[in-house]
Structure 1
Amino acid sequence: MSRAALLVLADGRFPAGGHAHSGGAEAAVKAGRVTGAASLEAFCRGRLHTSGLVSAALAAAAALGVDPVDLDAAADARTPSLALRTAARRLGRQLMRAARATWPHPELDALARQFPKGAHQPVVLGLTARAAGLAPADAAYCSLYEGVSGPATATVRLLSLDPFDATAVLARLAPELDGVACQAVEAARRVLDDGVDALPAGSAPLLEVGAEAHAAWPVRLFAS
């Protein structure tokens, strides 16, 4: 495994399109649920243990070599919101473009042909990690870090939050991120024996509701 490859994939400047998405933070800010560093931390913790765990397990399973078509269907089943499914596929398509240019691999080519409009982003992320020679745990960590760093970065812009405070939130969440990453990898390994039904299916109803409302806004700063 290449530690440098992990740094490239996890780098916020990797051209995967994540900078255009707030991970639900824009809707949460407008609803008054995120108003500063403390509420941002609570918001990110909620994402980490619900949708974050689901996405990380999907990514780890893809990195393990589980059929990405089955994983994409599992991701669909675990994402009730059409707005979130649409965003996940858009992000998956953008990540696929970047991944195929960076780490060319026949499995990426095959998935791109299967889903020309984009597979779910966590599935593409896991397959990208596999193409880069990374481990399932690396894929899980990348997914989880993106799931909390995206909202933190967005909140800096949305609320003019001090970036030092936003970064401190991520640092305080680090031990929990470690624990969720382990859970995600364990779940992914169970898929090898028990199929995709072994994947976690934690829900975050406020994220789903907020995403649907956000998609209908005539003016917004972020795509989701």
Structure 2
Amino acid sequence: MALPASLLLLADSRLPAGGHAHSGGLEPAAEAGAVTDLPTLTAFLRGRLATTGLVAAALSAAACGHAARTRGGDGGDGGLGGHEGWSVLDAETDARMPSPAGRRASRAQGRSLLRAVREMSPHPALDALAAFSAPHHPLVLGAAVAVTGGSPADAASIGAYGAVTGPASAAVRLLGLDPLAVHRALAELAPQVDAVAAEAAGHARGDPRDLPAASAPALDIFAELHLQANLRLFES
């Protein structure tokens, strides 16, 4: 079955949602000398996908499921009303982001994405999220997928895909890597992206407290160092 164009828009890096301003930790990793060439970039992407990528994809799947089960922010969702359910997911997202800088970046991207998708597809579920001054990016992504007719599996796929494509794009700009070689590396990672997305989608209907909580201490440290840098090209 063909993927709806509305979902392709959400996965498009040209979506005016601020993603181009974030490197997903790649810039501080490059500054620290942890990523210098294609092999180290591939290792970085693989590690990011298995940790923060899995967490973000699972949160997006859960958010998609919640948005689909609620109506105008007031529905049931297993006894959790729309706003209460979003509050729980927001708190669980915070708990999975130890770095204050990482939380700040996620909320900045979420705010930008919410603004873009509300312009594209106005919907009460998005209005409910707008009650938070800056909702986390994975939650906005999941809600956006739901209101455009997508499933939690779609949300997980887009989330996992973005976990590697954003940093890969930043690497081309920061390190001057061959774009064709970088995309070959992404193509080789595709089966792992699909596997992470499938695992994440399986958490769409469970207790939010049981969502994956894979940690990436190096990324947390990089995020804090990046925030203190005097000169940086990306916000994160």
Q: Give the alignment's TM-score, normalised by structure 2.
A: 0.90
- Contact 1:2/1:133 (CA < 8 Å) preserved in 2? no
Identity %: 53
User: Hey, what's the Cα distance between the residues in 1 that align with 2:181 and 2:195?
Assistant: 23
Tell me by how many angstroms 1:2 deviates: 5.7
State the partner residue of 2:234: 222
State the partner residue of 1:132: 148
Are 2:155 and 1:143 equivalent residues in the alignment?
no
State the partner residue of 1:99: 117
Tell me by how many angstroms 1:74 deviates: 0.3
What residue identity is the alignment partner of 1:221? L
State the partner residue of 2:80: none
State the partner residue of 2:50: 49
Matches within 5 A, 1:160-175: 160-175=176-191
Matches within 5 A, 1:169-184: 169-184=185-200
Tell me by how many angstroms 1:68 deviates: 2.2
- Of 68, 71, 75, 2:86 maps to 68
What residue identity is the alignment partner of 1:104? P
User: Hey, what's the Cα distance between the residues in 1 that align with 2:12 and 2:95?
Assistant: 29
1:16-65, Cα deviation, whole Å (9 max, x unpaired)? 11000000000111111111111111000001010100000000001111
State the partner residue of 1:205: 217
State the partner residue of 1:79: 97
1:93-113, Cα deviation, whole Å (9 max, x unpaired)? 000000100111001011102
Q: Give the alignment's TM-score, normalised by structure 1.
A: 0.95
- Contact 1:2/1:134 (CA < 8 Å) preserved in 2? no
State the partner residue of 1:26: 27
User: Hey, what's the Cα distance between the residues in 2 that align with 1:223 and 1:76?
Assistant: 19
- Contact 1:155/1:161 (CA < 8 Å) preserved in 2? yes
What residue identity is the alignment partner of 1:178? D
- Structure 1 unaligned regions, length at least 5: none
Are 2:138 and 1:122 equivalent residues in the alignment?
yes
- Structure 2 unaligned regions, length at least 5: 67-76, 78-84
Tell me by how many angstroms 1:188 deviates: 2.1
CA RMSD of aligned residues (A): 1.1
Are 2:108 and 1:90 equivalent residues in the alignment?
yes
